[in-house]
Amino acid sequence: MIKDLVTFCVKRSGSVVIVGLIVFGLGIYLLETARLDVFPEFAPPQVVIQTEAPGFSSEKSELLVTKPIEKSLAGLPGIEKTRSQSSPGLSVITTIFDES
């Protein structure tokens, strides 16, 4: 079978080169017009809110800064999950949205 293929290609080398160039040109054209990302986004869409509250303990930062922001974000459509961290003088809230 391979012998027949090689014989065919040798006998019709001009046709094989033309077909190869057509396939190569079609591949370049499709590569240029493809609507796919080369580097897909692996992380889900998210919003990170960092607030500073100098002089606040972690408990006060949680009570006076983190909780009100979490409550205001709770009604947004498409939220998958919300995470928060409170430390002395700093509050970090991460909201992860659905892919859609």
Tens digit of each residue's pLDDT (9 = 90 or more) over 9-21: 888 888 889 999 9
Residue type, 72: S
Main-chain phi, psi angles of 87, to 5 degrees: -135, 170
- Per-residue model confidence as pLDDT tens digits over 45-75: 899 999 998 998 989 999 999 999 999 988 8
Reference 51, options 13, 11, 92, 10; nearest CA is: 92
Q: For position 42, what pLDDT does the model report?
A: 78
Q: For the chain, which residues make up each domain, given as ranges?
A: 2-33, 46-97
Which whole-number Å values give the CA distances from 91 to 8, 49, 80, in the listed order? 72, 8, 20
